[in-house]
Structure formats: structure tokens, C-alpha cells
Chain A
Amino acid sequence: MPTITIREALNEAIREELARDDKVFIMGEEVAAYDGAYKVTRGLLKEFGPRRVIDTPITELGFAGLGVGAAMVGLRPIVEFMTFNFSILATDQIINSAAKMLYMSGGQFKIPIVFRGPGGSAIQVSSQHSQAIESWYTHFPGLKVVMPSTPADAKGLLKSAIRDDDPVVFIEQERMYGNKGEVPDDPDFTIPLGVADVKREGKDVTIVARSLMVPVALKAAEQLEEQGVSCEVIDPRTIRPLDIDTIIESVKKTNRVVVAEESHPICGVNAEISMQIMERAFDYLDAPIKRVSGADVPMPYAKNLENLTIPDVNKLVAAVREVAYLD
């Protein structure tokens, strides 16, 4: 299997799906002539032309809604947000139109659309350009929300998202675009939505992590192994719908859980996962669930303060030791 970056894996997924289905097109700011603000769409304009790869004005509400309208009548748009920070301008169309159209039309109008782009923390760009807002979208029935952490997951899940008949919010991580990994080059390779992946097997503590927190959790698990603690790392990959069964199976084995995320703690996905574990596996828990989230502040610019807001290996190690009653 070739080893490629997440950026290249996403590019392959989009390229293959553009080639596979003429109803698929990609639009967004700088996706065409500029080759993508983060180069995810590099070369696509040259290969598929301006009909399929479309530069938009900076008009997020407008082009998100245009995508939903096109999906109503049978196209399969991929709408790129340069970052998910800018999707906030388009939330009316994502939530009030895309998520609810099938339901409020009594099942008549499906919306096969992917809203994708980088989300989560970025490096030293302060409060408006560095935040994890997945819990917003995860809140709404009608949407599916995907957050890949490896090149193979990125490719397989994005292909599934493009082929899915429902609106999918696909949140990449800006800081992970250069991460490398093995990816099958089979054009039929896909990963089904809604299935968690056990990124590392272990027996003492379960760490549930997504996106940027997956490599952080894996590093923490390595350190903890040296300290005699065996960690199982589970990446839900799709957070709506959530594969809670896989998490529960792990909890029944380890009896101890740390949930990790970049986003703010209040009403976050960690809170939801913790609650579902409590509902489903309370009797299996040997310690209270420990939640590790981003600091409950807007993202600061100063490097030292920024470092304090995003969970790191040390914080995760400390959390695992706490639920294992080691300190």
C-alpha cells in the first residue's frame, strides 16, 4: 500500500468520486485556480475543468445554500469551507435546510451533499480561526458528522460521505493534513460511516479520541505502556451516528474511560459520549469517567497560552493515571 498524507488521501477521494459520477462537483473558495487554500483540491481544476471544480465568491451562506438546492434536484455537491470557522455563516442552510429537508418534506427531498474542510485548532491564528465546532452539527438529527484521523480513514470515509444520500459534515484537521499513513489504492476502497475503529488495543483504560486527539492519545498510550498501563484507543471516526457499541465493548473490558477532544467542554461530544457510557455501562465503571477537553476560553494567540488550551500528551497521561488510581 502506498504511504501518502491525509491531504493526498482526501485529494484522491475527491478525484475518484468526480471521475466516477458526473453528478458530483466541488465548489468553494479557492478550490480551483488557487488549487485549494490547503491544497486538498490540487490539480482537480486541470483534470476536471471549471464545470466540476468551481471557485466561489466569499459568500458562505450563499454557496452552501446553492449546494443544498442543487442536491434537492439530484446533484451531489461537495461544498468546501476554507475552514469550518466560516461555516458558521452558513449554519442556517446546513441546519435549517440540509438537515431538515427530508423530514419536513415527508421523505421526498433527500440532500446528498458533503460540507467539508478543516476544523479544530490551527497554529497561532487566535480566536476566530482556531476552534472545534463539531458539537454544533452533531446536535442536529438529519446530519451525519465525520472526523477522520488517518489518511486511510480520510479517503475511505470521504468516499462514503460523497456516495451517501444524506448531508454529511466532514471535518478535517488543519494541523494533520501532512500526517502520513498507508492507504489502499483500490478505487473501490471505502470505509462505512458510523463505525468506530480501535486504533490501539489495550486492557486497563479506554481512551475515546477523535481527530487531532487520536495521535495524541496514541503517544500517551506509548508512554503509559512504559509505566505499566495498557490503553485501548478508540476513534469513533463518525460522531453522528456514534458507534457507541464499540465503545461500550471496550469499557466492559477496561472499566475505566478517558474521553478526549479539542473542543470546549460544555455541551461537547465528550459530554455526550460520557453520558451514553453512563447509561449503558454504569455497572462496569471502576472510576468516574475523566473528560479532557480544550480550555473553556476563546483561543488565545500567544504561543504559551495557546499551548495551554489544547489537550496534549501530558494532560492525557495524567487523566489516564487518575482514572487508574495511580496518583
Chain B
Amino acid sequence: MCFLCLFVAKLSVAYNPSFQTQPMSKQTAAPPSRAGADEQSSTGVIDAPEQVDRKQLAREREEVKERQKDRFTGLNHEQLIGLYRQMQLIRRFEEKSMEAYVAGKIGGFCHVYIGQEAVAVGAISAIRKDDYVIASYREHGHALAKGMSARSIMAELFGKATGCSKGKGGSMHMFDKGLNFLGGHGIVGGQIPLATGAAFASMYQNKDQVTLCFFGEAAVNQGAFHESLNMAQLWKLPCIYICENNQYGMGTSLARAMSLRDIAQKGCAYDMASEFVDGMDVLAVREAVLRAVERGRKESLPTLLEVRTYRFMGHSMSDPGNYRTRAEIEKYQERDPIKLFSASLIEEKVIDEKGLEEINKQIHEEVEDAFRFADESPYPETKELYTDVYANPIDPSRNRNQ
């Protein structure tokens, strides 16, 4: 961290009245993994370390792992292994989708979730099946975690009739009404008011469902974010806003895009409970979301979670990646959420290497099967071009004769 950044950070604290008058009063738990000024400054290209201090990283990783293992309490082996399985499925699914993209089988945009798996998996493990989930265009992982099949998602990526959206949505628009997965949405922040509406419907109908709304940190700069949080707190809507802070909006670092980079702090602007969460620890995410879910169900109140994570791959498949250093990426790869969790599982004797290999083998087969299924599925029939435009298509000549 450079001294100039430290100076600026201190200055902004001194001149920001919200720091003085509202010291995170709504925080529900101590922020054990709050990155603070140190980690925030490292998000900029300029401040990124040129050299990787492997010893230091190893020490940090051990500390995080010990904290993670402390969170095993209350979860049985099946649940723990289930979390691993889902994260690994997302990782392998995304690797396969990258392969398919390069092979020309997937068109358009393809935003993969590699590195962020602990966020979707930890969060969705904390809700019921009838709760709603909505996400951005980087939503393959959330769709899998909500229970959608790898087949239906891969087929959608391939633009096939068997895809979850019949090949009409593609990578950014996975939907499953039966699973209350309200889709992937392509306009940055566009899903945030929609999530607020789903939570409104739960409140309106006096149901105790909650809505998980996933978005990236870049969406926080959109008006849709602020308008939604204001209404959600004002009207007590059970919506859990999960900001997946992967620290880059496409190629623009957080430091270059946001004046107040402490996103959890923005909850104060709406008198909303907020929390900072380590997004590389699947159990930390789960615990934070469980607290938010309880607040949503019991008090019909929203929560803002800032989940610090990192995407290991580019923004999309066409990302040149020239805006961040190799050293920075390696630093975060040391905190790979899947490696961390598998190490914790083995050390706590939840499962052994052989057991993990067996799961990995099953996942490999599941992903290969999804690929084959997508590849062999038919494209939508041409008559599908004009279906699903209207739920009630109107034929004026028919209506006129009524």
C-alpha cells in the first residue's frame, strides 16, 4: 500500500460525517474479515504488489482456514460435502463452458464465475427452496446452486431448444420458474429493483419468503441500487442484497470507480443492516446470509451484504486482462475458496482425498454429460421465433368480432 493512499483513506474518514456519526450501528456481527484500507488499496492496478510474498500468503491462508474450521459447528458431514460438491460443480461447469466457447459452441458474451463460487453456494445454502434468487449476467453458478441442472444451463449456453430458456436467453438469461430462480439480467443493476419487487410480493401476501439479490460492486454505482435499498428499508421488504465485490467492473477497478469503497457502509444511507463478509469462505457467506434470512423472515427487513471476492478469469471471454497484475491474481488464487474448503474438510476428517476424488469424478461425468446433451440437442424450431412475445397474443380481427 502506498503512503498516498493511506493519506487519502485517512482524509476521507476524517471528512466523512457518516463515519463519525453512524459507526456501523446496524452491523449485526463484528466484521472479522473486514479488508480495511489495506485490501482496498490493493484493488487498484498501481498499488498491486509486483512480487508475491508466498510465506505471508501461506500464513494468511492458514489463519483463514482456522476461522473456517471454527464454522463447521452445526453442519453435518453431508451438508459440508454438499457445499464442496456444488462449488466444484460450478468450477468444472465454467471450465467446460470456456472450452465450449473457444470451440465456437457458445456465442455472444460468456461471463464465468470461477473464483466466486463460495458466494452463490454459501448464500443459497442458507435459504429455502421456495425463496427467490435473482442475479446478474454472471449467473451460471447461482442457477446451479439453486438446483437447475447442468444440462439445462449448458443447453441454454449452446442456444438449444432444451435450454432452460428454450435457447432464447443465452448466457445472461437463465430462468427457472419452478425453482423460483428469477433469472440472470444483462443490464448492470437492473435486477435490483426486480428483486425488491419479488420481496414486495412476499410482504404483500404475508408470506415469509425471502429474496436473494446478487449483483457486482459496479452495480452499486447505479441509481437502481440506491432507489431499491431506499424502498426496501422504507417498506420493510425481506430482500437480501448481496454485493459480490470482485473488485472490478469489467476492467475498471473499484478504486477508480467508487468514492466510498466501503460498500457495507452504504447501508447506513438507508438505515439498513449491513455486513462485510469474506467471500472466499463459503461458511462465512452462509452464516452471514443465515443472519440476514432470519431478519427477513422474522422482521421482514432487508440486509445489505458486501461479500469480498475475486474473479480469477476475465470479465468475459474476450477480456484482455491487461488491467491487473499476475501477482494480484496469484494472491487471490492462494485464497481459492474450493482449495481452502477442501483442505478444511480433509483436516477436520469430514472426508479424505479419495472421497473428494470420487466426487470430482462424478462432477466430471455430470459436466461431460451436460456438454454432450447440449451438443446433441436440437436448435429451436424456426416457428419459435414468434412465440413467447406475448402471454395473451391479440388478433385484432378475432377481437373485433367478439
Contacts and interface: CB of A to CB of B under 8 A. Distances in A.
Interface in A209-248: 238, 241-246
A66 B180 CA distance: 17
B389 A141 contact: yes
A107 B194 contact: no
A2 interface: no
Q: Which 4 A-B pairs have the closest CB atoms?
A: A69-B197, A65-B193, A62-B227, A106-B166
Contact of B224 (A57, A61, A141, A164): A61
Contact of B194 (A59, A65, A194): A65
Interface stretch (B33-41, B76-84, B259-267, B391-399): B391-399
Given A65-B227, A93-B190, A107-B387, 6 more contacts: A57-B227, A62-B228, A66-B196, A70-B197, A96-B187, A166-B391
Given A65-B196, A66-B228, A73 B201 contact: yes
A62 B224 contact: yes
B194 A102 contact: no
A324 interface: no
A92 interface: yes
21 contacts: A56-B231, A62-B196, A62-B231, A65-B196, A66-B194, A70-B204, A73-B198, A73-B201, A75-B204, A96-B187, A101-B183, A102-B388, A102-B391, A108-B175, A166-B392, A192-B402, A193-B394, A196-B396, A238-B394, A242-B396, A246-B400
Contact of A71 (B173, B185, B197): B197
A83 B78 CA distance: 56
Contact of B399 (A144, A165, A193): A193
Contacts of B397: 245
Nearest to A25: B204
A116 B192 CA distance: 22
Contact of B389 (A70, A105, A142): A142
A13 B342 CA distance: 61
Interface string A70-87: 111111000000000000
A194 B234 contact: no
Interface residues of B, number: 53
Interface in B352-402: 387-392, 394-397, 399-400, 402
B129 to A, nearest CB: 15
Interface string A164-176: 1110000000000
Interface in B185-226: 185-187, 190, 192-202, 204-205, 223-224
Q: Is the interface of B mostly helix, strand, loop or mixed?
A: mixed
Given A105-B183, A110-B391, A59 B231 contact: yes
Given A57-B230, A102-B388, A66 B200 contact: yes
A89 to B, nearest CB: 8
A164 B393 CA distance: 10
A17 to B, nearest CB: 16
Interface residues of A, number: 53
B193 A245 contact: no
A105 B193 contact: no
A67 interface: yes
A110 to B, nearest CB: 4
Contacts of B183: 101, 104-105, 109
Interface of A: 25, 51, 56-57, 59, 61-75, 92-93, 96-97, 101-110, 112, 141-142, 144, 164-166, 192-196, 238, 241-246
Contacts of A194: 394-396, 399
A104 B201 contact: no
A97 B185 CA distance: 8
A15 B204 CA distance: 18
Contact of A105 (B177, B234, B402): B177
Contact of A69 (B164, B186, B198, B388): B198
B390 A65 contact: no
Contacts of A106: 163-169, 175, 388
B176 interface: yes
Contact of A108 (B177, B186, B197, B400): B177
Contacts of B234: 57
B201 A69 contact: yes
A247 B352 CA distance: 76
A141 B389 CA distance: 7
Contact of B201 (A75, A112, A241): A75
Nearest to B397: A245
A136 B120 CA distance: 37
